[in-house]
Amino acid sequence: MRKVLAFTSLVELGTGVALMVDPAIVVRLLVGADLAGAGEVAGRGFGVALLALALACWPSRRGTESEAPAVRGMLVYNALIALYLAVLGTAGSMRGALLWPAAVLHAAVALALLFSPSSVHAPEARP
């Protein structure tokens, strides 16, 4: 479970940095559309949020009990973003080169987190 959490944190860290540096490239690769004006501002803001999510969910050294909130957060994020990307790819006219690979990656990570040996529903350890 720690490896899955570290992997997804690294992916979101990289995506966040890419969005902060040049959101237009990320959007073009994901949805095949141009980005301008307020979209660039929002894209950079989303990059900051992904960077914060990645840092907040980085696996701790204290063990799996302390990671339950991070696992839940990444599980919800990955499940919902996979669903959103799939909707964009099927119902919308979005056709970026990385749309379906990103949707599948997020769905796979969500499943890996959901079925990890450490329960997402485990109670927090109290000192």
Question: Residue 20 corresponds to which tokens in the numbers above?
Answer: 């902060």
Q: What's the pLDDT at 63?
A: 63
pLDDT digits (tens, 9 = 90+) for 29-62: 999 999 988 999 999 999 999 999 999 999 877 7
Instruction: Specify the pLDDT at position 119.
Output: 46
Structure tokens given for 25 = 């490239």
- Tens-digit pLDDT profile for residues 74-127: 999 999 999 999 999 999 778 899 999 999 999 999 999 999 876 455 555 444
What is the band of 65 on the pLDDT scale with cuts at 50, 70, 90? low
Q: Map 33-77 to HEC letters.
A: CCCCCHHHHHHHHHHHHHHHHHHHCCCCCCCCHHHHHHHHHHHHH
**Residue 120, SS3?**
coil
